[in-house]
Amino acid sequence: QVTLRESGPALVKPTQTLTLTCTFSGFSLSTSGMCVSWIRQPPGKALEWLALIDWDDDKYYSTSLKTRLTISKDTSKNQVVLTMTNMDPVDTATYYCARSQKTGATDAFDIWGQGTMVTVSS
Amino acid sequence: EIVLTQSPATLSLSPGERATLSCRASQSVSSYLAWYQQKPGQAPRLLIYDASNRATGIPARFSGSGSGTDFTLTISSLEPEDFAVYYCQQRSNWLFTFGPGTKVDIK
C-alpha cells in the first residue's frame, strides 16, 4: 500500500523559511519513473503545483515560485523535503505531497498525502 | 504557462442526473489531462488520467473525453457521494497547472 504523510510547522512568521517533509512508503524514489511533488491549496481556493523531484534527482519548479523553492530527497529515509523562503501570509495553505510516475503523458498525481495546514502570521 | 478554465463554476443537480463538466486549455495539451475529485477536508483523488483513462478503483459512471484544448468529465448518474469539487490538471514541459474547479452540489 502506497502512503504519503506531510509534516512540518503549523505556524510560521512572515519572512521565515518553511521546511516541510514528505515521508512515504510502498514505493521507492530510486525506482525508474517515480516522482514526488508538492502541491498547495489556500483555504477555499484551487490547487497549485509547486515542485517535483524524480527518481534521477531531476527537479522542476513552479515558474512563479522557483526563486523561493528548493526540493530534495533522501532515498534511504523515503523522504522528500521542500523549503520555501520568505514566507508571506498569502502562503497560508494546506500543503500536500503526491506521487506521480513519469510516463511521458499526463503523469497524474495518483496518491496524495492527507495534507498539512500551514498558517503564516506574526 | 498553460491556463485551464473550468465551466460551470457550480453545477446544481439531483442524484441520478447526468453531470457534464468542461475544462478548456489556453493551448493544446494533447491528451495530457487529468481529473480529480475533492471532498471537504480531504485530499484530491485521481479519477481520470490521459484524458480518458479511469484510475484504479474509479467507478464506470465516471468518464473523460477530449483532446487538444477541450475536455469533458461526465458522471453518468450522480450518486450521493459524487457531490464534491472537481479539478482538471495538465502537464506541459514539466510544468503542471490545475483548473479553478467545478463544484457539483445537490439541487
The pLDDT tens digits for A76-95 are 999 999 999 999 999 999 99
Omega into B8 within 30° of 0, i.e. cis?
yes
CA distance B98 to B82: 20
Closest chain A C-alpha to B59 CA, distance in angstroms: 16
Backbone angles phi, psi at A101, to 5 degrees: -130, 130
Q: For A60, which of B36, B50, B94 is closest by C-beta distance?
A: B94
Distances (CA, A) of A41 to A96, A116, A119, B22, B87: 8, 10, 12, 21, 12
Note whether A116 contacts B: Cβ–Cβ < 8 A. no
Closest residue on chain A to B32 (Cα):
A106
Instruction: Name the amino acid, one letter, at B89.
Output: Q
Instruction: Write down the mean pLDDT value for chain B.
Output: 97
Q: Residue B50: list chain A partners with CB under 8 A.
A: 105-106, 108
Determine, for residues A46 and B101 on separate chains, whether the beta-carbon distance falls below 8 Å. yes
Q: Cα(B47)–Cα(B57) distance, rounded to whole angstroms?
A: 9
In which band, very low, low, confident or very high, does the pLDDT at B94 lie, cut at 50, 70 and 90?
Answer: confident
Interface test with chain A among B91, B92, B97, by most A beta carbons within 10 Å: B91
Q: Is the pLDDT of residue B98 over 90?
A: yes
What pLDDT does B51 receive?
97
Q: Bridge partners of B25?
A: B4
Statement: residue A32 has pLDDT above 90: yes
Query: B29-72, pLDDT tens digit by residue?
Result: 999 999 999 999 999 999 999 999 999 999 999 999 999 999 99
* B68: nearest Cα among B28, B25, B23, B96: B28
Whether the predicted pLDDT of B17 surpasses 90: yes
Q: What is the pLDDT of residues A103-119, one digit of tens each?
A: 888 899 999 999 999 99
Cell of A31: 525506482
- pLDDT mean over A43-54: 97
Question: Is it the case that residue A54 has pLDDT exceeding 90?
Answer: yes
Mean pLDDT confidence for B72-94: 96
